[in-house]
Amino acid sequence: MWEDDDGTWRHRHWMRDGKWSKNSVFADLSAHRTVFRNLDHGSLESVISRSAVCLFCRLLVESLKLHDNNIFSSWSSHDRRVLYIFLNCSIAGIAFKKWQEPRHSQHRFELNRLGIRIDRANVPGMSSIDESFQFDFPHSIRVGQSPQSSTSKVIAYTARPRPQRCDIPLFKSWIQLCDETHRECHSQTKTADTSEISSPKQLRQPYHSITGSVKRSDEQSVMRLIDVHSSCISTFPTGDAVFKSYIALSYVWGDSQDNIALKSVNYSSLSTPNGLINIPKTISDAMKLVSLLGKRYLWVDSLCIIQDNPEDKAYQIPRMAAIYANAFLTVVAAAGDGVKAGLPGISSERPAEITVDVGDFRAFGGSPTLDLSKGSPLASTTWSSRGWTFQENVLSPRCLIFTASQVYWTCKSKQWLEDNDLESQDGSLIWSKIEGTQELTVSNFGNLLERYTAKTLTYDSDILDAFAGVLDAIPGDFFWGIPKEAFGRYLCWSNQKSWPSRQLLTRRTLPGAPSWSWASWKGPISMNHDGDVTTPVVIYYRFCDKDLKHIYCPSKTEKTLTGKCELSRIPTEIALEENHIIFWASCSRLQAKTDGHIDGYAGYFSLYPTTKDPHSVGRVRADTDFQVEDGALYDFTVIARHGHHDVFVLMLSLPVNGVSRRECLLTLNKQSWKRAMPELKLIVLE
């Protein structure tokens, strides 16, 4: 897509001699820009033979060789597989354009790249029509201006070379452009001033322990940074001016044996000038990058937190929100699956690109196609799959993201990439809009939790630690990972129904964690409930300081569904603990019958009254892997309305010493619940 001198936008079509032609392949492909059309470019045999005289065919062949140079050795000289080329419109964004009508402030543009696909339908033994949709080598070719172009005018949204070594001046220009023109970034970048590094909000009760916050010594009241000039760990008083210009690193640890960690035994040696030797490639590359960008200090979790000191970890980990929010920049190491991967283009070269100059234009081949259908260039990376890196991404106002193929920039205002010019016009990629908002608010908590719990953690005990920065950045108080402000609504968590195979939640190994908290369960959590409105109906209390403390009260209450709790009304034989929630609710004891897994769907069971009424109250399906015992009795209690016709019901184990445990969340029709003959009961839930 190009801009003419008169300000209009149109498609032009490149051909071998650099002139425009309605008969060129670009003309054929661009006839309908909203249609993905494959253009038959002939058999592989013919394409290979023409590559000796045709620059375009040569570009196709060389791009395929870059993917795998050995693939040609297995191809027959009479290979009948057809090579197709097509316009790949997977890179999309927002741009302001001259020809827009005034009422349209934004417009979606497409960066059309030329894709290469190979049809396997004609291969002997692969004649099935379904095979015609299976393609190899999903590569794309970018088109930009040649250095020898007859025009000096920079054409926006066109390709530019991606060097084997990172273009540090380009990165500096991104930083400068953000500093000078992105008002939104600077109004939101410092979500917490540097003083919050020393004194973030009080730890949510409970965090590392049931009893509350952790006492800290003077040693724990400091912050540590890597001094890349002296190659050692330096210690600073919290609130020091140095915290205005440090860079943070977000990366995947991988095998813990590959990483270097700050521990009590090596604290002194790593704090000595030139003490950081034989460090993993990702960290050493990040140190080199910090120096190239003109900065001096780097924050890395494994080297700035004493890993074998529980008190230091308890003090430092909740400060993740302030640490990443106040960083000058976060470097994201998204290439590879461990700390040995490095930052491609810093200490090691990236694969060379194939380039072909044709007239005023230069074509670049061999770059992987950017697939926004997966959300972002990071969607398929190990970094994106990890629980710890989720909060580092959410909390960082601006990131320099290193992938295996190129570097991306993302901030509150824009997303740019190394191999296409988006900065010269008001253009930006839109993967952040596809992934979902990063807004750190109670109303967006459900979205953040759904994305976080879909990530993986090596240790169950990290489930709250790896989310602590997000919790600390969201206004308000939390109780076991649930915001008190909307406690009733976010207690109605369930599994993600649309997740592959409808994954059931399993209990997490986390001592002291209550069954009613999402943190006690492993698997993707959902708060959406198919978009229907969730209306809490219960008043919740907790036991603290030898008394009942109010947690949450819905805007409207009904005497038949809840009531106020008083310590004097709780039976003395119940030993209350600080992770218990106490509430009055509409409750019924019902018999569960598995019906032999009717229709073959495991997890379904029917509920029957304990009276002689033979009619079922309802047929339900568990959201956890809880094994329902056929014919056993369980307690069921309503905690919220779901839409206009249903209620959310917690299925509880029968009380042991007066205390129940959550087994799963069910949905029942209101009329069905009335047939259960419920009555108001006091529930103590662990």
Cα–Cα distance between 150 and 328 in angstroms, integer? 40
Look at residue 70 in the predicted model and tell me its pLDDT. Answer: 60
Give just the sign of the alpha carbon dihedral 546, 551, 554, 556.
positive
Among residues 556, 584, 574, 596, the alpha carbon closest in space to that of 657 is found at 574
Q: State yes or no: pLDDT of 474 exceeds 70.
A: yes
- Residues 127/129/130/134 CA torsion (nearest 10 deg): 70
* More confident site: 616 or 88: 616
DSSP state, 155?
A: P
DSSP state, 313?
A: H
Q: State yes or no: pLDDT of 175 exceeds 80.
A: yes
Look at residue 368 in the predicted model and tell me its pLDDT. Answer: 58
Cβ contacts of 664 within 8 Å, gap of 6 or more: 622, 623, 624, 626, 650, 651
Q: State yes or no: pLDDT of 618 exceeds 70.
A: yes
Q: State yes or no: pLDDT of 202 exceeds 60.
A: no
Task: Name the range with the highest mean pLDDT among 123-137, 480-494, 523-537, 604-618.
Answer: 480-494
Percent of the chain with pLDDT over 90: 35
Overall average pLDDT of the 565-590 stretch: 92
Overall average pLDDT of the 66-89 stretch: 55
**Got the DSSP string for 661-685?**
-EEEEEEEEHHHHHHT--EEEEEEE
Among residues 451, 437, 434, 331, the alpha carbon closest in space to that of 91 is found at 434
Identify the bridge partners of residue 534 per DSSP, sorted by sequence position.
Answer: 642
Least confident of 81-95, 152-166, 430-444: 81-95
Half-sphere exposure of 662 (CA within 13 A, CB side): 30
Average pLDDT, the chain: 76
- In the structure encoding, which two tokens stand for residue 347, read together? 């200490």
C-alpha dist (Å) from residue 540 to 134, 248, 514, 576, 581: 55, 40, 15, 14, 7
| Global confidence as pTM | 0.79
Cα–Cα distance between 209 and 453 in angstroms, integer? 22
DSSP state, 202?
A: P
3-state secondary structure of 593: strand
- In the structure encoding, which two tokens stand for residue 18, read together? 């650099």
CA 606 remoteness from chain centre:
37
Cα–Cα distance between 590 and 634 in angstroms, integer? 6
Do the Cβ atoms of 364 and 354 come closer than 8 Å? yes
Backbone angle region of 350, left / alpha / beta, with phi > 0 → left and psi within -120 to 50 → alpha: beta
Query: How are the residues of the chain apportioned to helix, strand and coil, as percentages rounded to the nearest 5?
Result: 25, 30, 45
Look at residue 435 in the predicted model and tell me its pLDDT. Answer: 58
Q: Classify burial at 413, counting beta carbons within 10 Å of its beta carbon; exposed 0-12, middle 13-18, buried 19 or more.
A: middle
Among residues 386, 380, 543, the alpha carbon closest in space to that of 451 is found at 386
Look at residue 211 in the predicted model and tell me its pLDDT. Answer: 26
* 586: enclosing H helix or E strand: strand 581-593
* 3-state per-residue secondary structure call for 635-651: EEEEEEEECCCEEEEEE
Overall average pLDDT of the 64-83 stretch: 58
Look at residue 612 in the predicted model and tell me its pLDDT. Answer: 72
Overall average pLDDT of the 159-174 stretch: 90
3-state secondary structure of 571: coil
Helices within 369-412 (DSSP H only):
382-385, 387-395
pLDDT band at 216 (very low <50, low <70, confident <90, very high): very low
Beta strands (DSSP E) in 397-552 are 399-402, 407-410, 415-417, 427-429, 478-479, 482-483, 494-495, 506-507, 521-522, 525-526, 534-536, 540-544, 547-552
pLDDT band at 615 (very low <50, low <70, confident <90, very high): confident
Overall average pLDDT of the 667-674 stretch: 91
* More confident site: 6 or 496: 496
Cα–Cα distance between 563 and 429 in angstroms, integer? 51
Task: Name the range with the highest mean pLDDT among 3-7, 20-24, 25-29, 171-175.
Answer: 171-175
Look at residue 83 in the predicted model and tell me its pLDDT. Answer: 59
Cα–Cα distance between 74 and 72 in angstroms, integer? 5
Overall average pLDDT of the 614-631 stretch: 86
Look at residue 124 in the predicted model and tell me its pLDDT. Answer: 46
Look at residue 126 in the predicted model and tell me its pLDDT. Answer: 40
Cβ contacts of 55 within 8 Å, gap of 6 or more: 16, 356, 358
Do the Cβ atoms of 457 and 468 come closer than 8 Å? no
Identify the bridge partners of residue 297 per DSSP, sorted by sequence position.
Answer: 227
Look at residue 503 in the predicted model and tell me its pLDDT. Answer: 81
- Residues 219/220/226/229 CA torsion (nearest 10 deg): -30
pLDDT band at 431 (very low <50, low <70, confident <90, very high): low
Give me the count of residues in the chain. Answer: 686
DSSP state, 502?
A: G
CA 500 remoteness from chain centre:
17
Q: State yes or no: pLDDT of 96 exceeds 50.
A: no
The backbone torsions φ and ψ at residue 250, rounded to the nearest 5 degrees and listed phi first, read -120, 125
Look at residue 33 in the predicted model and tell me its pLDDT. Answer: 37
Overall average pLDDT of the 28-41 stretch: 46
- In the structure encoding, which two tokens stand for residue 67, read together? 């993917």
pLDDT band at 359 (very low <50, low <70, confident <90, very high): low
* 3-state per-residue secondary structure call for 519-565: HHEECCEECCHHHCCEEECCCEEEEECCEEEEEECCCCCCCCCCCCC
Do the Cβ atoms of 565 and 548 come closer than 8 Å? yes
Summarize pLDDT for 448-464 with one digit per residue, the tens: 999 999 999 988 989 99
Look at residue 114 in the predicted model and tell me its pLDDT. Answer: 63
Structural Rg of the chain based on CA atoms: 30
- Residues 433/434/437/438 CA torsion (nearest 10 deg): -100
The backbone torsions φ and ψ at residue 315, rounded to the nearest 5 degrees and listed phi first, read -85, -40
* 145: enclosing H helix or E strand: strand 135-145
Q: State yes or no: pLDDT of 534 exceeds 80.
A: yes
Identify the bridge partners of residue 651 per DSSP, sorted by sequence position.
Answer: 636, 664
Overall average pLDDT of the 3-28 stretch: 35
pLDDT band at 668 (very low <50, low <70, confident <90, very high): very high
Summarize pLDDT for 538-559 with one digit per residue, the tens: 999 999 988 999 999 998 877 7
DSSP state, 162?
A: -
Q: What is the β-pairing status of strands 415-417 and 361-368? A: unpaired
* More confident site: 533 or 565: 565
Give just the sign of the alpha carbon dihedral 181, 187, 191, 195.
positive
